[in-house]
Structure formats: structure tokens, C-alpha cells
């Protein structure tokens, strides 16, 4: 889980931008201030907006790195193009949630490695535009989240029959959605490094269950328990983005279902055409190695 947040406030011909980035995301940067400020750019049409001034500071008590920057336009803009490439200077799975404000209008944008540039129009979106954008945000959060994808693959390997897979999937998505919904409404949240390390460990644990306890029962309880840790990520995203829980979690559920169907289909094909590979055990070993390696890396970082 790698996430930062920012607020862009436009007033007339000036704009101020405030960035909040976890400190552990910038430990590898030699010049974090210049790197981060240069990685966030504004454009009006094809013209770059001039950065008037910018400064950053570390808040060790909060564990965050904060930047403030101001920009000046030649005239009040009707719309802005924002380019944010934090995912290329921090870690590939980094997500930046931007809140843009002008007068009574607030727009939201999400940047990651798959989308580094967007146009912000300071006009209130229609209901359908809002629903579509937030549902799509939920879909994308699953598709670009490595441990969401890996755990869904592990669920397919753990489901010994179609009925059991349905129970596992239902227990996981209900637990994940409930945790995300609750966490989005409270003031405190787990540290991001803990969430990512725990998510990596859920992949490794379920892989061990498949390898060591192939006949174990009540796997749906394990799926439900591990859905809590994955729900932390989506709860943090909902809180940072201030998007609607119903739309975002509907997108998450849709992406979960699509990936489960895809992985189940691929596993069935492997069992038919390459049974000698022992796809369940081989896949479980691979997932265990990835999960443990990422867990150790996150704990030590």
C-alpha cells in the first residue's frame, strides 16, 4: 500500500498545492523536495504553468513529508491539465489522490502508474459521471494492486470445488467491503506499511494452507479473516479520496469477480492441458515465495 494525498486550491490567477507523502516513500530520494515538486506539473492548454515557489519539510512525529507550492496563471483558468508522476519516482504501485478546489466546486483525481495525466474541469459533474468515475476508481484499485490480484489467485487455488470457491469468494469480499466501509468512517487507520506487509502475509499464509493442509476445512473463515486486512487498503483509499463508498466498493466487487472468473478459467485449462505441472501446488509455492519476500522487504524498509 503506497498512497499520498494532495489538495490543489485555485483562486483567480493563483493556485496553491499541498502534498502529504509518507516519509518511508522518499528515503531513497537524494533530493526529495526538488524531485517531488518537479513530478507534479500543471498545464493550461499546452502551456506549462509557472511554479512561483515551493518548499517541503519532514514531520517525523506524523511520519510524513509535506510540500507546499504556489503557481500563477496568465488568467483565471476554466480547466487545468494535471500531470503527476509520483509512481515513477517512489514505487510503481504508488497512488496519489488529488482534491482540486475552486470556489464551491471540488473535483477529485487519482494518479498511478497507469494514469499520470488528467484534465480537471471546474464544473459540477452529473450523477452518471460521478458514479462512473468512482466505480472505475474501485476497479482500477484492484487491478493495479499486486496483493489484491495475488490473493484472488490464491483463493482460486484454495477452492477445491466450484461451490467452495464461491463460499471463499463471498466470505472474502463481504469481509473486505465491511472493513473498508467501517474504516472510511473513523478517524484512525493502520500504518500503510503494516497494511502492505499484512496483505503480503495473507498471500503467503493461504499458500501454506494449500500446501501443508490440503484437506483443511472452514477455509471460508480464513478468507473472511484475511479480507479484513485487504479492506484496510480500500478503507484508506476511501478516506483519502472522499469518494462514495457505494460506488467505489461496487467497482472493487466487480473487479474481484472478473479476476476470480479469469483465474478459475486459467486454472481449469492448466488442469486439462498441463496437469503434469501440478498447477495448484506450483502456483501455491510461487505465491508463498512472493508473499514472504514482499513481507520481509516491507518489514525491513
> In the chain, pLDDT over 90 holds for what percent of residues?
44
Q: How confident is the model at residue 1 (pLDDT cuts 50, 70, 90)?
A: low
Q: Where are the domains of the chain?
A: 2-124, 140-300
Q: Strand, coil or helix: what is 194?
A: helix
Give CA–CA dist 150/153, Å, rounded.
Answer: 5
- Can you give the pLDDT at residue 153? 93
Helices (H) and strands (E) in the chain, counts: 9, 10
CA 90 to chain CA centroid, Å, is: 14
Q: How confident is the model at residue 301 (pLDDT cuts 50, 70, 90)?
A: low
Q: What is the mean pLDDT of residues 273-297?
A: 88
> In the chain, pLDDT over 70 holds for what percent of residues?
98
pLDDT single digits (tens) 147-205: 889 999 999 999 888 899 999 999 999 999 999 999 888 877 777 777 778 888 888 98
For residue 214, pLDDT over 90 is answered with: no
Residue (of 169, 140, 145, 142) closest to 264 by Cα position: 169
Q: What mean pLDDT is reported for the chain?
A: 88
Report the CATH fold assignment for 2-124: Immunoglobulin-like (2.60.40)
Q: How confident is the model at residue 46 (pLDDT cuts 50, 70, 90)?
A: confident
- Can you give the pLDDT at residue 127? 84
Amino acid at each position: 500500500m503506497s498512497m499520498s494525498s494532495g489538495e490543489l486550491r485555485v483562486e483567480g490567477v493563483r493556485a496553491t498545492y499541498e502534498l502529504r507523502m509518507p516519509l518511508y516513500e522518499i528515503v531513497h530520494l537524494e533530493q526529495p523536495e526538488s524531485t517531488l515538486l518537479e513530478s507534479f506539473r500543471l498545464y493550461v492548454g499546452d502551456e506549462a504553468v509557472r511554479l512561483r515557489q515551493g518548499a517541503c519539510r519532514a514531520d517525523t512525529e506524523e511520519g510524513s513529508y509535506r510540500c507546499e507550492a504556489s503557481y500563477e496563471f496568465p488568467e483565471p483558468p476554466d480547466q487545468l491539465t494535471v500531470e503527476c508522476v509520483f509512481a515513477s519516482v517512489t514505487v510503481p504501485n504508488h497512488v496519489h489522490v488529488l482534491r482540486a478546489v475552486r470556489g464551491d466546486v471540488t473535483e477529485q483525481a487519482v494518479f498511478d502508474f497507469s494514469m499520470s495525466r488528467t484534465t480537471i474541469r471546474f464544473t459540477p459533474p452529473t450523477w452518471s459521471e460521478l458514479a462512473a468515475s468512482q466505480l472505475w476508481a474501485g476497479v482500477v484499485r484492484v487491478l493495479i494492486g499486486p496483493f489484491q490480484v495475488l490473493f484472488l489467485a490464491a483463493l482460486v487455488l484454495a477452492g477445491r470445488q466450484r461451490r467452495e470457491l464461491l463460499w471463499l469468494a463471498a466470505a472474502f469480499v463481504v469481509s473486505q467491503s465491511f472493513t473498508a466501509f467501517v474504516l472510511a468512517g473513523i478517524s484512525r487507520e493502520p500504518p500503510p506499511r503494516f497494511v502492505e506487509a499484512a496483505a503480503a502475509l495473507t498471500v503467503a499464509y493461504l499458500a501454506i494452507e494449500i500446501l501443508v493442509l490440503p484437506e483443511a476445512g472452514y477455509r471460508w473463515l480464513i478468507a473472511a479473516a484475511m479480507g479484513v486486512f485487504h479492506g484496510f487498503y480500500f478503507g484508506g483509499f476511501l478516506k483519502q479520496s472522499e469518494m462514495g463508498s457505494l460506488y467505489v466498493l461496487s467497482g472493487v466487487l466487480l473487479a474481484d469477480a472478473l479476476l476470480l472468473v479469469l483465474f478459475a478459467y486459467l486454472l481449469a485449462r492448466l488442469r486439462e492441458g498441463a496437469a503434469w505441472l501440478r498447477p495448484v501446488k506450483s502456483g501455491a509455492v510461487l505465491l508463498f515465495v512472493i508473499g514472504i519476500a514482499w513481507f520481509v522487504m516491507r518489514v525491513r524498509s
